[in-house]
Amino acid sequence: MKKTPPIVSLMSGLLTAASLSFIPSASAADAQNIVQQKCLACHVEEGKTSWSRISHQRKTPEGWLMSIARMQIMHGLKISDDERHTLVKYLADRQGLAPSETEGARYALERRLNTSESFESQSFTETCARCHSGARVLLQRRPASEWEHLVHFHLGQWPTTEYQAMARDRDWLDLALNEMVPELAAMLPLQSKSWDQWQKSVKPVVAGSWTFAGKMPGKGEMHGVMQVVEDNKDQFSITLTGQYADGSAFKGTGEAILYTGYEWRANLTVDGISMRQVFSTAKTGEMQGRMFEREHDERGFDFSALKQGSTQSSVIAIQPEYIKVGDTVELSIVGTGLQGDVVLAEGLTLLKDVTSDQNKRVLQVKASNSIATGPKTIRIGKATADITVYDHVASLKVVPAFQVARVGGNDSSTPKIEAAFEAEAWAAGTDGLAGTEDDVRIGFMPATWSVEPFDATSAADNDVHFSGRMNAASGVFTPALAGPNPERRMSTNNAGNLKVIAQVNDEGKSVTADGQLIVTIQRWNNPPIP
Ligand code: HEC
Ligand code: HEC
């Protein structure tokens, strides 16, 4: 008998297939043929290009991928990877979301799996955002009838839904059908002005050269240039040429697909490591999103880029983003149209104009001993940007304040999921007091990292010893191996509850802050949208 693959591996396999198979552009007619041949055994043709269920929903490329994958896993749909890819592209283009319709929920597409969600609607939170993310729902648009089908599908497919927490204490089906369906249909309707307008609008051109900047937790700030060439309609080759602040390279090449006119999905190999990009190119001349390792999506960073050669002059990043009173630093200012004279705020002196390039200026700048603290403007030609001048570090924040790492490895199917922390330094505001409202953010600073038991239970269980190791220099925590550990009480696994401590030395004064890290078990179910 043929064994059905478990949902997890098929889903992650599908994700790989969907983003990897860069087939030559298929036409809309090809996609329509695939629907004819593959879907109409179960779905009904309502018109020439209208099919039951399929034509009455809008969602992201990942949303379409998940729906079709579900047809394969649950209903036995047979479809090749290339055919599925063609369909996802066709459906995401024809029935996608407008950029504004994804706002506030992009974290799920960007694989920010440590996000804690919170929604105004309590009924939504309890009814629809407890098994999976609420973002999965917010990234879909349907009429009431389709939301209703979805509720029925949930209960039909997983009858235990009614017996689970936050369902067995109430009439789940009645609430879902009579309260949630109207709420969802009003909040997330199939027809919308923003979608009509986006479909009609002229889409930004993405081919060209882009100045990018980012900061990889544990590794530091980087910037560079991303070259984008359109090989076929909506298919691109990419070349990344960048460097970290310490001069080490950040270089790679890859391929991208543009869905729905702005949903940029790329696969790259950067310094030998497979990485992905999930960006929006909806705003002309801008790219924004997250870039992360394919096998370790927790290792990633916010990416932003500006299109070169536009008439605009703007700065995307000043690295480093702060300067201490009396210090001299070499600043990399990256952006576009950065030609022209450098004009610095009072108290800042330009010692050397190291390189001048339209997209990057490197300046040696000194802050005088008497300079006032706070944001100071640097003007280059028509572009301006602020740098923060500080006197001393008054307080620190661990960012993020709460994270989850996961045990893994040990011949199991999932790798360890790390957690990377950063130390955000703050200066006292005009009141001279730390921890008050007028505090000024300085920026992320190198810190010394350690962990301690979070509470008495964690101390008694010796979580610090068993749950993993914190890298003192980088702030990256690597959890321990998965599986039972005979050395632990009752041979339990290496889960733990830790206090994460950052310490920064500022002129002999030690400033510390703490956050919390939960080390827990593997994420067994890991679909494209959590
Ligand atoms: C073997 C039967 C079968 C085939 C083939 C099939 N489907 Fe389905 N499809 C279903 C059933 C049953 C449902 C309703 C239950 C559900 O949502 O799983 C459904 C529902 C859907 C939905 C609505 C899901 C939702 O979230 O409400 C979409 C979209 C969809 N199918 C797309 C497709 C596409 C595209 C194809 C062809 C590539 C396809 N299906 C092929 C049986 C099938
Ligand atoms: C008991 C757990 C549970 C609850 C409660 C729940 N869901 Fe789901 N939902 C699931 C599972 C499981 C899937 C299928 C996951 C997959 O295919 O990977 C799913 C899938 C979905 C999808 C994707 C379907 C598609 O093919 O496009 C949407 C949208 C969705 N749920 C919305 C909702 C809404 C709206 C509610 C509240 C009315 C809700 N869910 C409540 C478990 C739940």
Residue 348 has phi, psi (to 5 degrees) of -105, 135
Confidence of residue 2 (pLDDT cuts 50, 70, 90): very low
Neighbour tally for 402: CB within 10 Å: 13
pLDDT in tens, 192-201: 999 999 999 9
CA 203 to centroid of chain Cα atoms = 23
Same fold, 208-307 and 314-390: no
Question: What's domain 314-390's superfamily in CATH?
Answer: Immunoglobulins (2.60.40.10)
| Residue closest by Cα to atom 33 of ligand 2 | 128
> What is the pLDDT at residue 355?
82
Q: What is the pLDDT of residues 448-505, one digit of tens each?
A: 999 999 999 999 999 999 999 999 999 999 999 999 999 999 999 999 999 999 999 9
pLDDT over 70 (residue 9): no
Give pLDDT, residue 21: 44
User: Residue of the nearest CA to atom 38 in ligand 1?
Assistant: 39
**Which ligand 2 atom minimizes the distance to the CA of 69?**
17
* CA gap 124, 101 in Å, rounded: 18
Q: What is the mean pLDDT of residues 421-430?
A: 93
Residue 33 CA to ligand 2 centre (angstroms): 29
Q: How many CB atoms lie within 10 A of CB 99?
A: 20
pLDDT computed for residue 357 by the predictor: 87
The CA distance from 86 to 381, in Å, is 46
Pocket of ligand 2 (CB under 6 A): 63, 66-67, 70, 127-128, 130-132, 136-137, 140, 150-151, 154, 158, 161, 164, 176, 180, 184, 527
pLDDT at residue 438, as a whole number: 87
State mean pLDDT over 273-300: 97
Question: Looking at ligand 1, which atom is closest to the CA of residue 78?
Answer: 5
The pLDDT, as a whole number, for residue 434 is 81
Q: Is the pLDDT of residue 3 over 90?
A: no
Q: How far is ligand 2, taken at its centre, from the CA of residue 9, in Å?
A: 19
Q: Global pTM?
A: 0.94
* C-alpha distance from residue 437 to each of 175, 443, 502 (Å): 42, 16, 22
Strands (E), 320-418: 322-324, 328-336, 342-344, 348-357, 360-367, 374-380, 383-390, 395-399, 402-406
Q: How far is the CA of 297 from the centre of ligand 1 (A)?
A: 29
For ligand 2, atom 17, the nearest C-alpha belongs to: 70
**105-135 pLDDT, tens per residue?**
999 999 999 999 999 999 999 999 999 999 9
Architecture of the CATH domain 208-307: Beta Barrel (2.40)
d(CA 451, CA 398): 12
Tokens of 512: 């510390």
pLDDT in tens, 259-281: 999 999 999 999 999 999 999 99
Task: Look at 142 and 507; give whichever has higher pLDDT.
Answer: 142
Domain spans of the chain, in order of start: 7-196, 208-307, 314-390, 395-520
Residue 12 confidence (pLDDT): 52
Which CATH entry fits the domain spanning 395-520: 3.30.70.260, 2.60.40.10, 2.170.130.30, 3.40.50.970? 2.60.40.10
